[in-house]
Structure 1
Amino acid sequence: MIEKSRTTKETNIKIALEIYGDGKSEISSGIGFFDHMLEALTKHSLMDMKLSCNGDLYVDGHHTVEDIGIIIGKAIQESVYPIQKVERYGNSVVVMDEAAVECALDFSNRPFLFYNGIKNGIIGEFDCELVEEFFRALAFNAGITLHINVLRGSNKHHIVEATFKAFAVAFRRALTKNEKMKVPSTKGIL
């Protein structure tokens, strides 16, 4: 279990993260829909996460969502590297009614984000442009090469939820144990 905290003038966040858990979560970001997405992420990745955040939501949700992505990314990075005895690569396509989202990722320790997803609209009090900000912060702080591609969809809730679930499934698959894969790289280290 990795425990971290992050305090800035904009947010105060605490996290406890176990990447090989049972999918249990206690999430309180102050943004209801975002809590729902983080609960879906933990459920389908099988991570256990306790997260609390007090952010400057009177401004908007940007700092809260981005800083949560940063702290989750840092906790993942600390949990995974130096990477050994795992598959390293993961991918998935998750459907939710009319929406289908594809995610492919690599625990490369070379952060990158390709994001072809929802970029505008509001769900509850959640600004959909923050989906990209969250995954950028997570990928760059976790050292993940991450590709997210919305294949189809019209309902914003379905598209965003399928995005979080597609990431979660790809994440879980990439961290599947493989004892034969001592270091999953020809470089000898990641």
Structure 2
Amino acid sequence: MRSSQIIRTTGETDVRISLDIDGKGTFDIDTGCGFLNHMMELFARHGRFDLSIKCKGDSHVDDHHTAEDIGISLGQAFKEALADKKGIRRYGNMTLPMDETLILCALDISGRAYLNFDVSIPAQKVGSFDTELVKEFMTAFSREMGLTLHFKMLAGENSHHIIEAVFKALARALAQAAAIDPEYADEIPSTKGVL
């Protein structure tokens, strides 16, 4: 089973994550931030990852540490669950529409962290959530997982739709890349022999 459990405790947050990559999309999410809960729930459902996230953070300050530390912990959870990455398809992409919004996500489970976030979110907040934290989350997630991750906004006006499309596209592309290719189930998908 490709699963993991991560506990990360700092002076700012206490994050506990349980992940099963080969799940059904079930979730139990309590980040302390309603909008981030929504994003993590749809991420689990669209990626068909079984995901539990519990976070107690310093939300009396703001949601920055919560978003960043969940990104860190979730990246670590995927890295641990994928282990040596044997048999994975490695690459994934999704062009995802949501009403007026169109988001492209392309990624490579390469072991090399890189984020290109070409997404313009017009509003500074969605509810109480600072929209700049989407990029902070993705930076932490890609760095800790060792993921090459590209987002390109092709269309969009509504900030909620844009962010939701980003997370859904990530989930779909990541599920594609993490899937086992039965023709190469015993191989590392790299000429180097390691990812």
TM-score of the two chains, using structure 2 as the length reference = 0.95
Counterparts of 1:1-190 in structure 2, within 5 Å, are 1-119=3-121, 121-181=124-184, 182-190=187-195
The separation in 2 between residues aligned to 1:68 and 1:12, in whole angstroms, is 9
Instruction: State the Cα distance separating 1:118 from its structure 2 match.
Output: 3.3
Aligned length: 190
CA contact (8 A) 1:91 1:173 kept: yes
Instruction: State the Cα distance separating 1:180 from its structure 2 match.
Output: 2.4
SS of corresponding position for 2:182: coil
What value does the CA root-mean-square deviation take over the aligned residues? 1.0
SS of corresponding position for 1:174: helix
Instruction: State the Cα distance separating 1:177 from its structure 2 match.
Output: 1.3
The separation in 1 between residues aligned to 2:120 and 2:29, in whole angstroms, is 23
CA contact (8 A) 1:90 1:173 kept: yes
Unaligned runs of 5+ in 1: none
TM-score of the two chains, using structure 1 as the length reference = 0.97
Q: Which amino acid aligns with 2:167?
A: F
SS of corresponding position for 1:82: coil
The separation in 2 between residues aligned to 1:158 and 1:118, in whole angstroms, is 12
Q: Which amino acid aligns with 2:134?
A: V
Q: Which amino acid aligns with 1:127?
A: D
SS of corresponding position for 1:180: helix
Identity among equivalent pairs (%): 43
Instruction: State the Cα distance separating 1:36 from its structure 2 match.
Output: 0.3
Q: Which runs of 4+ in 1 moved over 4 A?
A: none
Q: Which amino acid aligns with 2:118?
A: N
CA contact (8 A) 1:107 1:174 kept: yes
The separation in 1 between residues aligned to 2:147 and 2:82, in whole angstroms, is 11
C-alpha distance after superposition, 1:93-130 (max 9, x if no partner): 11110001000000000111000113551001111100
Q: Which amino acid aligns with 1:186?
A: T
CA contact (8 A) 1:20 1:47 kept: yes
Instruction: State the Cα distance separating 1:53 from its structure 2 match.
Output: 0.4
